[in-house]
Chain A
Amino acid sequence: MKAAAVKPEAPKALAVRMRDVVKTYEAAAGEFTALHDVSLEIAQGDFVAVVGKSGSGKSTLLNMIAGIDRPSSGEISVAGTRLNDLSESMLARWRGKNVGIVFQFFQLLPTLTVAENVVLPMDFGATYPVRERRPRALALLERVGIADQADKLPATLSGGQQQRAAIARALANGPPIFLADEPTGNLDSHTAGLILELFTGLAGAGTTLVIVTHEREIATLVNRVVLLADGRVQPDTPAGVSP
């Protein structure tokens, strides 16, 4: 019996496309170039880890993708949108709907409850009708396992719980891209593992994840590792242009 023909996999759409991106900062000590001619493509649904030493440009790279910072030169397209063309106001609006961001130090607003922190992006973006926002927030908190902490203030939660809350907030507007900058850097190993499990779950659901991390374990979870050194993507990593 003849074997069925193997159909070649259709190329994935790109979630992130960077071309010759340079980022230079003016510092007290003089000019500092954080990224040197970085070209990078990340397909939709990829789970990418960005690794490198301190000062290698990892966070800068993430900031570029998130639209938090602008390149000195080069082009960036994320989720089909060319970020160079957007004003600050348009970037904020775009970011609220297309990008979910999680930070190392959680960055929850201290005067809002956990549920309110999750609702906040929905209020800014007006992505859901008002009466749907809190139920959605509770559902997201359930998904990350802290629904019972919904009406507590962040200061009363543990680090791991706060980070889960931050993840729920990042998912509030259902963004296609999820970014995390050292999400486990402030957590113990057990909690870090739980957080990485959440990320794995998200990746499995089709969200594009880009994680800046020092965690060695994450290399086994992701499908791609981008190594940065001195602001350059290293050629001997499975990074650069997608196959």
Chain B
Amino acid sequence: MTLDTRWKKTLRDITGYRGRALALFVALAVGIFTVSTMLGAYGIVRREITVNYARTSPASATIEVGEVTPSVLASVRQFPGVAVAEARAVVEARAKVGDEWMRMLLFVVDDFGGMRLNVFNRDSGAWPPPAGSMLIERQAIGFLMAGEGQSVTVRTPHGSPRVVPIAGVVHDTTLAPAWQEQTGYGYITRETLQSLGEPPVLDELRILVEGNAMSTALIDAKAVELATALKGQGIEVHSVKVPPPGQHPHQGQILASLRSFLSLSSLALVLSAILVAAVLNAILARQVREIGIMKAVGARSGQIGVMYGALLLALGAASLAVGLPLGVVASGRLAQRLADTMNFTVTSTAIPAWVYAILIGAGLLMPLVTSLPAIVTASRTSVRGALGVLGVGGAFGAQRFDRMLTSLGGFALPFLLAVRNMFRRRGRLVLSLALLAAGGGLFMTAVSVRDGWWAMADHVTTDRAYDANFLLTEPVPVGRIRQALAQVGGIRAIEVWQNNQTAVARKGRVDVMRTYPDRGHGSFALLGVPPQTTMIRFPVIEGRWLARDDIDAVVLTPHVLRQVAPAKVGDRIFLSIEGKPTEWKIVGVVLEIGGGGAYVSSAGYARASGSEGTGRDIRLATAASRMDERDRVVRAAERALDEAGIGVQRSMPLGRLHAAMVGHVEVPVRMLIAASVLLALIGGLGLASMVTVNVLERTRELGVMRAIGAKPGVILKVIVGEGVLIASMSWFVALLLSLPLTRALGLLAGHMFGAPLPFTISVAAAIGWLGLVLIVAAAASAVPALRASRLVVREALAYE
């Protein structure tokens, strides 16, 4: 069966324009590859993180009580609506790593073999751990710098430092990676807990509710009902924690990051499609005469449109055939990488079917949609108009703008020619500018957002004027703390704050905290600080900071504000202090990176809690200028507290907090850099293609110029000048475009911080892009211009 002549022409056109077709194919394939990678990874991660988390049989709720005795556990298991109940404990301890005491969580399990909730799996070694030893989470090996068969010195709040052998390694997918949280994770029995100096008491009731385990309302209601019933039995209930059902602690952050990259990748694909439209527009300009011939011999506009539409579909299909499989492979690798980083397991890298559907649709349709105006215009070309096109001349001069350009004087002729030539085909100019501006704008946006992320992480150090933060095991008289630290040299300032875990509270009701079992995600603290504190200077987002005479004012961070929603600045809320609801008025919201809490005045806290003159949170500033000196002073301070019998639950040097924040942003930053490189590639390809096409079309015109005496140097100046002028204009538009794009992406990407990223425009990216477009424009213009200027004049005049 022979091919219709229309399709033969279409196929041969591709061959005839193979250089441009190849550039378009590469640009589209890169765009499809990028989107495939991101969308595929998103689909895999979204599925796998849910599967992983579900496999751990997460508890619906955790009720912290005084002690979970066997009788309490038995009665809870009989409680209506409770499907499963287990007793656990989590002890916040510290582990010695090198010379530093690092935060460590010890998860106490009564029956390793009979776990039914918050299940973790054995990787290697003993199961259960023998008395006196522990298992560690696999991601903690690097953090603790110790693995199976080795030991770690551990200190619990009420115990002395003890060397604990590591009997095995587990994988707990419910926990964020140790390096990211700057926390080690250990798993011990009650016997081991006792040997570490802590009472062998399990104080957490973990329950799974019957019915719809994904219903927050149902879980909240059942947990509150159970807590109320326990209180009624005289059992002390400290807190009720209900994490978001079915949602891994980092799920929101990971998916938000992936969505940001997906947005950027989608824009990259759109950019590729715009490039296709721009180059097709140029190709169609050269096909006008052939379109006229076809219409003269009976072709209808629709038939012409179908031919070029088919050309684009073929291009899209070819790009998909290359970009999609590569993207599928890359998405699996990216998902695996993210999983390794985020401590969950990818059970399958199969991409969901909806991802394929979107990719195929986008890959095929996107170039068609962006090129539709050009195809419609070309296919509607009148026969008379089409057959009158000879490539020199045009309608320049008919409009007032043209005449204004003509009246420009005082410049050298090559410059005037370059300027006027630029505006001869205004539609093409707009398309070229759109393409280049989009590419440049996206590139600058990617780099700017990366800078925004770094700037956000830097807030950890810029907003804090202390070098270390110690959280004590219990409130201690301020005087005793100051006395203990008075002998430590190198301390510039100390502030002692009140600090307690809190939750939104209502009088007469048991309130629910949105906290995960790792005691990190979802929780927040109520801190009593001196209003004139010199230790923190968080930027105020809304309202104000605490005033000197504030007694019932509270300042929140965005993370906490979300938890008390719909309350806003000016409203009153209740926060619990040791189970007792206390009332506060929201006076402001501040941006706190690397933490998140509710800040009240120390006087207000003392009044509300009845604890005057004590503190639990030490903020310490050293006089040291070097990091090693700073570390020495911090360690000395910790030793002094220890010697004074003041138990330290957690110490956090500022450097470690910064490292944790950097750890959070490291992966998205690397992905942004990769995205920006791809965007630069597409943008550069687009620029080179457009400029080359523009020059090739003017071959006959260049022949005319040479025929009337123009030297090659003059021709080169005109052509290169035009290319450079277009590139410069596009850079300016790109810069303007990057402003709202950076703002929008910053809003999206700031999700993990609870606030938009700082609005930063990367000067380096702007200058870099300018340099890139100028060099590419000059080179892409010069090469064909030189080639054209070397043609024999007769050949140039006959060029089509």
Interface residues of A (CB under 8 A from B): 28, 63, 66, 68-69, 88-89, 92-93, 95-97, 101, 103, 107-112, 116-117, 119-121, 123-125, 130, 134, 169-170, 172-173
Contact B16 A112 (CB under 8 A): no
Contact A68 B384 (CB under 8 A): yes
Report the separation of the CA atoms of residues A209 and B2 in the bound assembly, to the nearest whole angstrom. Answer: 33
Instruction: Say yes or no: is B8 at the interface (Cβ < 8 Å to chain A).
Output: yes
Contact B6 A124 (CB under 8 A): yes
Chain A residues with Cβ below 8 Å from B294 are 109, 120, 124
Contact A69 B382 (CB under 8 A): yes
What is the CB-to-nearest-CB distance from B735 to chain A, in angstroms, rounded to a whole number? 36
Q: Chain A interface: which of B296-304, B504-512, B526-534?
A: B296-304
What is the CB-to-nearest-CB distance from A98 to chain B, in angstroms, rounded to a whole number? 9
* Interchain residue pairs with CB less than 8 A apart (6): A68-B383, A92-B298, A93-B298, A101-B297, A112-B12, A124-B300
Contact A89 B300 (CB under 8 A): yes
Bits for B180-203, please: 1 = Cβ < 8 Å to A, else 0.
000000000000000000000000
Chain A residues with Cβ below 8 Å from B6 are 120, 123-124
Q: Which of B299, B303, B380, B387 contacts A107 (CB 8 A)?
A: B387
Contact B8 A112 (CB under 8 A): yes
Instruction: Say yes or no: is B616 at the interface (Cβ < 8 Å to chain A).
Output: no
Instruction: Say yes or no: is B5 at the interface (Cβ < 8 Å to chain A).
Output: yes
Contact B301 A89 (CB under 8 A): yes
Report the separation of the CA atoms of residues A107 and B384 in the bound assembly, to the nearest whole angstrom. Answer: 13
Chain B residues with Cβ below 8 Å from A169 are 297
Instruction: Say yes or no: is B289 at the interface (Cβ < 8 Å to chain A).
Output: yes
Report the separation of the CA atoms of residues A172 and B5 in the bound assembly, to the nearest whole angstrom. Answer: 14
Contact A116 B298 (CB under 8 A): no
Given A107-B293, A111-B16, verify A28-B397 contact (CB < 8 Å). Answer: yes
Contact B2 A134 (CB under 8 A): yes
Q: Once A and B bind, how many residue pairs between them come within 8 Å at the CB atom?
A: 89
Report the separation of the CA atoms of residues A93 and B303 in the bound assembly, to the nearest whole angstrom. Answer: 11
In addition to A28-B397, A69-B384, 7 A-B residue pairs with Cβ atoms within 8 Å of each other are: A68-B384, A88-B301, A89-B300, A95-B298, A111-B9, A112-B8, A124-B6
Contact A93 B300 (CB under 8 A): yes
Contact B295 A92 (CB under 8 A): yes
Q: Which residue of A lies closest to B303 (CB)?
A: A124
Q: Which residue of B lies closest to A96 (CB)?
A: B298
What is the CB-to-nearest-CB distance from A7 to chain B, in angstroms, rounded to a whole number? 40
Instruction: Say yes or no: is B628 at the interface (Cβ < 8 Å to chain A).
Output: no
Contact A92 B9 (CB under 8 A): no
Bits for B1-40, please: 1 = Cβ < 8 Å to A, else 0.
0101110110011011000000000000000000000000
Contact B301 A103 (CB under 8 A): no
Report the separation of the CA atoms of residues A109 and B287 in the bound assembly, to the nearest whole angstrom. Answer: 10
Chain A residues with Cβ below 8 Å from B300 are 88-89, 92-93, 124
Contact A116 B302 (CB under 8 A): no
Q: Which of A109, A123, A172 contacts B293 (CB 8 A)?
A: A109
Report the separation of the CA atoms of residues A120 and B302 in the bound assembly, to the nearest whole angstrom. Answer: 16
Report the separation of the CA atoms of residues A54 and B397 in the bound assembly, to the nearest whole angstrom. Answer: 24
Chain A residues with Cβ below 8 Å from B353 are none
Contact A119 B296 (CB under 8 A): no
Given A68-B383, A88-B380, A111-B9, verify A124-B301 contact (CB < 8 Å). Answer: no
Chain B residues with Cβ below 8 Å from A109 are 9, 290, 293-294
Q: Which of A88, A97, A116, A173 contacts B5 (CB 8 A)?
A: A116
Report the separation of the CA atoms of residues A169 and B5 in the bound assembly, to the nearest whole angstrom. Answer: 13
Instruction: Say yes or no: is B565 at the interface (Cβ < 8 Å to chain A).
Output: no
Instruction: Say yes or no: is B395 at the interface (Cβ < 8 Å to chain A).
Output: yes
Q: Which residue of B lies closest to A92 (CB)?
A: B300
Q: Which of B12, B292, B299 contacts A124 (CB 8 A)?
A: B299
| 551-606 of chain B: CB within 8 A of chain A | none
Chain B residues with Cβ below 8 Å from A97 are 298
Instruction: Say yes or no: is B398 at the interface (Cβ < 8 Å to chain A).
Output: yes
Chain B residues with Cβ below 8 Å from A28 are 395, 397-398
Chain B residues with Cβ below 8 Å from A96 are 297-299
Q: Which of A111, A119, A125 contacts B298 (CB 8 A)?
A: A125
Chain A residues with Cβ below 8 Å from B299 are 92, 96, 124
Contact A119 B297 (CB under 8 A): no
What is the CB-to-nearest-CB distance from B669 to chain A, in angstroms, rounded to a whole number? 49
Closest 6 pairs (CB-CB, A-B): A96-B298, A111-B12, A121-B297, A68-B383, A28-B398, A92-B300
Contact B395 A116 (CB under 8 A): no
Chain B residues with Cβ below 8 Å from A92 are 295, 298-301
